[in-house]
């Protein structure tokens, strides 16, 4: 079913790409767009992870350069039954994280310096477990390829508007079609990626909470990240909004509720689902606040300080 959903989403994005091409150049434009879409899909399958990591200036770390972070990822990956992913650090003050890679054997987890500085060790474990859940659910390829193709659709729409459309094509829309293309094509691409993003975020929250062993660690982390995301801008994400759905919390400003144009479920709804899961698992489920810390034991059973992940 996961592969079927992936194929359907990629087909939808390719169809949008072809539709934009048709509005620009008629039937020949649609065929050119199909060729471009096929080449884009093939290229992004092998290179999309490197493209996104490079876009955000992420650099790889190891046990020598970041022993606590890499050790935490290794322990949680073991709990999840996953191969050890590569670990990357982004020099970004906004706390956030994402996972990428075409499969679990070629996966990467990237976190910001802001995330490491502002979250407790337990909260960080909840976030990393969420990203590992995306890897385990084989979401990372779809999320990264979607970001690349959605960005290409928006770029092609802008290209078509710049040239004013093809007034001689058979659709007869001319400049009107070009304007509609500029508005509707990026919107259609956004709607497709949003629909898939919401369901996958809920699923990753659930599985990630089970991997970490305490749903409220992730719930507390989401509160902190959500609050900081509205105060600390992520300039690279603002320049590349097609990648926003990859992050655990929308890094763009002005997105706090569930609506048609939100790339993520509302944080309140996600916390409610995690509280329900905590109750089902028999875990303690206190009210969530930005300064709360959850059980002072790490997911692998050792004592863990609550003042911060590295303190």
Q: Is 59 annotated as a binding residue?
A: no
Residue 309's pLDDT is 43
Q: Which sequence spans correspond to the domains of the chain?
A: 55-160+175-280
Between 215 and 180, name the one with better pLDDT.
215
Residue 8's pLDDT is 72
**Superfamily, domain 55-160+175-280:** Metalloproteases ("zincins"), catalytic domain (3.30.2010.10)
How far apart are alpha carbons 255 and 275 in whole angstroms? 22
Distance set, CA 70 to CA 24, 109, 124, 205 (Å): 48, 10, 12, 21
Q: What average pLDDT does the chain have? A: 78
How far apart are alpha carbons 311 and 306 in whole angstroms? 8
Res. 215: pLDDT tops 90: yes
Q: Is 134 annotated as a binding residue?
A: yes
Q: Is 138 annotated as a binding residue?
A: no
Catalytic machinery residues: 131
Q: Assign residue 165 a region: left if phi > 0, alpha if psi is -120 to 50, beta otherwise?
A: left
SS3 110: strand
Residues 161-170 have pLDDT tens digits of 555 544 454 4
What average pLDDT score do residues 215-221 get? 97
Give the predicted TM-score (pTM) of the model: 0.75
Res. 305: pLDDT tops 70: no
Residue 243's pLDDT is 81
What average pLDDT score do residues 255-264 get? 57
Which uninterrupted H or E stretch holds 129? helix 121-136
Residues 36-80 have pLDDT tens digits of 777 776 777 777 788 889 999 999 999 999 999 999 999 999 999
């Amino acid at each position: 079913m996961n592969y079927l959903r992936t194929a359907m989403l990629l087909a939808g994005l390719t169809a949008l790409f072809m539709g934009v091409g048709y509005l620009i150049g008629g039937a020949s434009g649609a065929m050119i767009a199909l060729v471009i879409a096929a080449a884009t899909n093939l290229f992004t399958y092998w290179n999309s992870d490197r493209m996104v990591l490079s876009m955000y200036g992420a650099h790889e770390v190891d046990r020598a350069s970041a022993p606590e972070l890499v050790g935490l990822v290794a322990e949680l990956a073991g709990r999840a039954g996953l191969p050890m992913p590569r670990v990357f650090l982004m020099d970004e003050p906004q706390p956030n994280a994402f996972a990428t890679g075409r499969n679990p054997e070629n996966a990467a987890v990237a976190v910001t310096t802001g995330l490491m500085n502002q979250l407790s060790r337990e909260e960080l474990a909840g976030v990393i477990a969420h990203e590992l859940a995306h890897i385990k659910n084989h979401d990372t390829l779809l999320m990264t390829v979607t970001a690349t193709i959605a960005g290409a659709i928006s770029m092609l729409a802008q290209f078509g508007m710049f040239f004013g459309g093809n007034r001689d094509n058979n659709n007869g829309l001319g400049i009107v079609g070009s304007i509609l293309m500029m508005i509707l094509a990026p919107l259609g691409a956004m709607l497709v990626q949003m629909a898939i993003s919401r369901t996958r975020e809920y699923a990753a929250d659930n599985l990630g909470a089970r991997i970490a062993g305490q749903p409220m660690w992730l719930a507390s982390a989401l509160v902190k990240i959500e609050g900081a995301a509205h105060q600390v801008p992520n300039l690279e994400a603002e320049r590349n909004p097609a990648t926003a759905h990859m992050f655990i919390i929308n890094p763009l400003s002005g997105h706090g509720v569930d609506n048609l144009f939100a790339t993520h479920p509302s944080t309140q709804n996600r916390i409610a689902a995690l509280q329900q899961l905590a109750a089902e698992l028999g875990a303690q489920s206190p009210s969530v606040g930005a300064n709360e810390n959850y059980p002072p034991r790490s997911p692998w059973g050792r004592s863990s300080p609550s003042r911060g992940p590295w303190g």
